[in-house]
Amino acid sequence: MAAGAITAPYRGFCEGVERTCNSFIQEGDRLMLAFEPWFVDAAQGRDVPCLRLVFQREGDRVVLERFTICDRR
């Protein structure tokens, strides 16, 4: 694990995400988490960016590998 890595316990992370509305998680060797504009409760006509996060599973922990923010402009 690199110094300064963003990491969390795997089980607690997944349980927290499952309780979060407006998200989608795909599990495997990597966890892919997306907060898409159509999932977000926002006023109509308001620009809401898409947030996609990829985590690498390392034993009983997840480590943030990369994230992307897309405003679709």
Residue 65 belongs to some domain of the structure: yes
Whether 30 shows a pLDDT value over 80: the answer reads yes
Whether 22 shows a pLDDT value over 80: the answer reads no
Listed in sequence order, the residues at least 6 apart from 9 whose beta carbon sits closer than 8 Å to its beta carbon are 60, 61, 62
Total structural domains in the chain?
1
The Cα–Cα gap between 16 and 24 comes to 12
pTM of the model: 0.70
- The domain in which residue 62 lies consists of 7-70
Residue 19 belongs to some domain of the structure: yes
Whether 48 shows a pLDDT value over 80: the answer reads no
Residue 2 belongs to some domain of the structure: no
